[in-house]
């Protein structure tokens, strides 16, 4: 006979003492405050301590606007690419049996294992001006390293596993019984995907997109290697923050940092709204 599903702390055998619960809450709150809340508040304080006018001037100066535009452009390019690749990889891995699947699933985790700086260096060695591929692309008028193209490629490399890794466990747990039923009832492959597969994975897909968006906007290591740090051209927001801080332009550095922090908070808000919507 199965036992009713009830919360862990509601069982007398597993219930912690009151002092244990309060101690855990206290430790958690102190850690969160010191590691997350205090640094976040400090960023906004430093950004605004010279007044709103100084903050606005820092955000709207040409180099800042260029960094903001490049960051948003890079994110806008990689999100649809990552979405298509992520869904395709997840469908391939969970719905097909073939030789070499283990290799694909292993390589899918490569961006998590490789340092972003190493990833950027790999693109320099592959597409640099003195390489075969780099020389070929430059001969036809396409510059990759020290250009927006290289920044997009580097960001794409470090972000492409997020969506697939969100979808694969869910699609494996769901199985393919509903998809088989749709095909049995006369649906073709595209109808099955749009009417059955996509609705079943939509929340995990949106969550993966949010994670990809957050990582893309905040990526530093790989982008730093391939960008060349050209002011007004190849500096993203994280790179511009480093430059401003090293030049003691603290208002500019913290102003851009606050923008990234606001984007992160907005990402968390969207995630919480999604979780709430999913439960209802």
User: Which of 56-65, 82-91, 182-191 has the lowest average pLDDT?
Assistant: 182-191
CB 90 within 8 A of CB 164: yes
Smallest CA-to-CA distance from 58 within 234, 255, 235 is with: 255
Q: What is the pLDDT of residue 128?
A: 85
Q: What is the pLDDT of residue 158?
A: 93
Q: What is the pLDDT of residue 8?
A: 66
Q: What is the pLDDT of residues 142-162, one digit of tens each?
A: 889 999 999 999 999 999 899
Q: Token match 């430093």: residue?
A: 46
Q: How many Cβ atoms are within 10 Å of 183's Cβ, its own excluded?
A: 15
Instruction: Check pLDDT > 90 for residue 276.
Output: no
Q: What is the pLDDT of residue 209?
A: 92
Most confident of 2-6, 20-24, 110-114, 251-255: 251-255
Q: What is the pLDDT of residue 29?
A: 93
Q: What is the pLDDT of residue 83?
A: 94
CA distances from 187 to 101, 182, 191, 258 (A): 27, 6, 6, 49
- The pTM assigned to this predicted structure is 0.84
Q: What is the pLDDT of residues 227-255, one digit of tens each?
A: 988 888 899 999 999 999 999 999 999 99
């Amino acid at each position: 006979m199965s036992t009713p599903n009830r919360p862990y702390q509601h069982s007398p055998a597993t219930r912690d003492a009151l002092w244990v619960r309060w101690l855990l809450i206290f430790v958690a709150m102190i850690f969160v405050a010191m590691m997350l809340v205090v640094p976040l508040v400090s960023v906004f304080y430093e950004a605004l301590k010279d007044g709103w006018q100084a903050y606005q001037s820092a955000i709207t100066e040409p180099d800042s606007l260029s960094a903001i535009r490049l960051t948003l452009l890079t994110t806008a390019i990689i999100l649809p690419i990552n979405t298509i690749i992520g869904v395709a990889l997840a469908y391939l891995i969970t719905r097909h049996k073939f030789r070499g699947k283990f290799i694909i699933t292993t390589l899918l985790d490569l961006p998590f294992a490789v340092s972003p700086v190493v990833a950027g260096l790999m693109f320099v060695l592959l597409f640099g001006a003195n390489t075969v591929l780099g020389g070929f692309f430059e001969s036809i008028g396409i510059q990759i390293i020290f250009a927006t193209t290289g920044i997009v490629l580097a960001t794409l490399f470090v972000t492409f596993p997020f969506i697939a890794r969100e979808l694969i466990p869910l699609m494996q747990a769901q199985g393919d019984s509903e998809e088989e039923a749709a095909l049995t009832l006369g649906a073709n492959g595209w109808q099955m995907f749009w009417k059955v597969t996509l609705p079943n994975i939509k929340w995990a897909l949106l969550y993966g997109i949010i994670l990809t968006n957050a990582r893309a906007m905040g990526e530093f290591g790989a982008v730093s290697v391939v960008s060349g740090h050209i002011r007004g051209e190849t500096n993203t927001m994280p790179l511009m923050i480093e430059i401003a801080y090293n030049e003691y332009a603290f208002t500019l550095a913290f102003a851009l940092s606050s923008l990234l922090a606001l984007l992160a908070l907005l990402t968390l808000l969207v995630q919480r709204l999604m979780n709430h919507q999913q439960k209802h």
